[in-house]
Amino acid sequence: MSSIVTITNLEKTYKTDSETLTILKDLNLEIESGTKTVIVGESGSGKSTFLNIIGGLDTATSGSVRVGPYEVSSLSEESLTEYRSHFLGLIFQFHYLLKDFTALENVFLPAYMAGMPKHEAREKALSLLHDVGLVDRVDHLPSQLSGGERQRVAVARSLINDPQIILADEPTGNLDPANALMIGDLLFSMADKYQKTLILVTHDMSLAKKGDFCYAITNGQLTERQI
């Protein structure tokens, strides 16, 4: 396998008038294509910041982040938009579904906006919603769906543009234990089915155990963890 993510000497600091706070320091990581990597750590440890830097949603203070053909740390705004819309699928703790659009519309809109013909985007969205077990809920608005169903829509949406990598930030954090287990299983099974590289941030160790590799962020440092 070849590396799809190469992170070298990554550092993230925040400066205020009175102090400099280092969140991440001298992080180095290689992630191979097709693997499932889990990042764990206490709340505030920097794990979400780390994922956001990979996703181009935040910028590193120093170091290099290379993802596929992209040197993320030096992309223009236009290139960042292309990177996020075509190379990545993003799943967050909150589903971020558009409240006035149906489940089907929420899934196909990113593909349609990226230039896919509407009928093709719709068919692909229907197929993904079938895969996540929501074929009978496609015409429902987010307000008509349960928390677990909304997050299943978010999983389907993350795959609509056929990304290389799925980035998931605490995707089960807002769910009850039963739904958290279901979404965790679904996320890993969909990554397998569509042969995606998965990078997952979580504090749920039962979810972390599903990964091929697990790393902990402690005091800004990244260390491999046996699970």
pLDDT tens readout for residues 159-211? 999 999 999 998 888 788 888 888 889 999 999 999 999 999 998 888 888 89
Report, as an integer, the average pLDDT of 1-10: 89
User: What is residue 108's predicted lDDT score, i.e. its pLDDT?
Assistant: 92
pLDDT digits (tens, 9 = 90+) for 113-157: 888 899 999 999 999 999 999 999 999 999 999 988 999 999 999
Residue % of the chain over a pLDDT of 70 = 99
User: What is residue 43's predicted lDDT score, i.e. its pLDDT?
Assistant: 80
Between CA 152 and CA 222, with CA 188 as vertex, the angle to 5 degrees is 115
Own/partner pairs, 149-154, CB within 8 angstroms, 24+ separation: 149/103, 150/95, 150/97, 151/91, 151/95, 151/175, 151/179, 151/183, 152/183, 152/186, 153/95, 153/97, 153/103, 153/106, 153/107, 153/129, 154/91, 154/92, 154/95, 154/96, 154/97
User: What is residue 174's predicted lDDT score, i.e. its pLDDT?
Assistant: 78
